[in-house]
């Protein structure tokens, strides 16, 4: 008997080694449609690029914020949008497609700035 097709569900999680040869899978995504924030290392893993390149494309193609002066977190929705856009082979040579994504990122960044300046 051959096994049937497997279904893979994408999940962002951390594998934590427990020391006794077992691993603990700790999901890092909240349930629901709310935006999650991930580290540059996690974004690099999802995009299939180096962590250094994440910092290069940070301001143009990824929505980010700084909860602490030396810490950057990136919007998972913006990582997914960049990944989807870059699946098109012509994305990196098509200035119109790049400008469309850059405009969406600028708009999201402006919204973040405006919401952070609002008094609670």
- Give the per-residue pLDDT at 18: 85
Q: Classify residue 4: in a domain, yes or no.
A: no
What's the CATH code of the domain at 53?
A: 1.10.1660
Sheet holding 71-75: strands in order across? 37-38, 71-75, 64-68
Q: Averaged over 7-31, what is the pLDDT?
A: 70
Q: Output the CA–CA distances (angstroms, integers) from residue 100 to 60, 85, 104, 110, in the order listed.
A: 11, 10, 6, 16
Token digits of residue 89: 């082979």
Domain of residue 103 covers: 32-117
User: Does 94 fall in a domain?
Assistant: yes
Number of folded domains in the chain?
1
pLDDT of residue 55: 92
Alpha carbon distance 48, 89 (integer Å): 15
Residue 36 domain-assigned (yes or no): yes
Q: pTM for the whole thing?
A: 0.68
To which H or E segment does residue 27 belong? strand 23-27
* pLDDT above 90 for 35: no
d(CA 36, CA 110): 18
**Section 65-91 average pLDDT:** 89
Could you tell me if 68 and 37 are in contact, meaning their C-beta atoms sit under 8 angstroms apart? no
């Amino acid at each position: 008997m051959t096994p049937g097709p497997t279904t893979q569900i994408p999940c962002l999680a951390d594998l934590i080694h427990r020391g006794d040869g077992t691993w603990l899978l700790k999901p890092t995504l909240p349930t629901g449609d709310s935006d999650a924030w991930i580290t540059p290392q996690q974004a690099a893993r999802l995009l299939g690029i180096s962590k250094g390149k994440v910092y290069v494309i940070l301001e143009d193609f990824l929505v980010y914020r700084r909860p602490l002066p030396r810490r950057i977190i990136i919007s998972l929705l913006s990582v997914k949008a960049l990944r989807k856009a870059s699946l098109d082979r012509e994305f990196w040579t098509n200035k119109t497609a790049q400008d469309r994504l850059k405009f969406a990122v600028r708009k999201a960044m402006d919204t973040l700035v405006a919401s952070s300046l609002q008094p609670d």
